[in-house]
Amino acid sequence: MRLRQRDKRPVVFRARITVKEPDATTYEDWGDPITVYGNVQPAGGRMMAEMYGERLAYMQVMYVEGKPAISEGAGACLFTTDPDYRVVAIRPWSAHTVIDLEAIRP
């Protein structure tokens, strides 16, 4: 299965990294951006409702051709320039990859 070009949109992913200060304190920050083109849709369905429950209302699903170089826990910039979603799961299929994204709520 191939994804339509017109349905693809760019999504910027940023890996979560630990930064160490000179005084030995650490904090979490976002790494270098990686742009991936794919089809983003709201999450839904019986299987996902069983897996995520009430969290499903805050989730999106992204379909990508091939295998992107991202990992679980990375941040995704869907609607803003800072990460507003995080990668919950990466599920490979035969021709494409399905990425589950959950909203980062303050």
Instruction: Please report, for the chain, the start and end positions of each structural domain, with discontinuous segments joined by +.
Output: 5-103
| Ranges of the chain with pLDDT below 70 | 1
What local confidence, expressed as pLDDT, does residue 54 receive? 93
Q: 5-103: what fold? A: Thrombin, subunit H (2.40.10)
Supply the pLDDT for residue 41.
95
What per-residue confidence (pLDDT) applies to 106?
73
pLDDT tens sequence across 78-90 = 999 999 999 999 9
CA dihedral of residues 16, 5, 103, 67 (deg, nearest 10): -40
pLDDT at 1 (0 to 100): 65
Q: Is the pTM of this model over 0.85?
A: yes
**Straight-line distance from the first to the last Cα atom of the chain, in angstroms, rounded to the nearest whole number:** 37
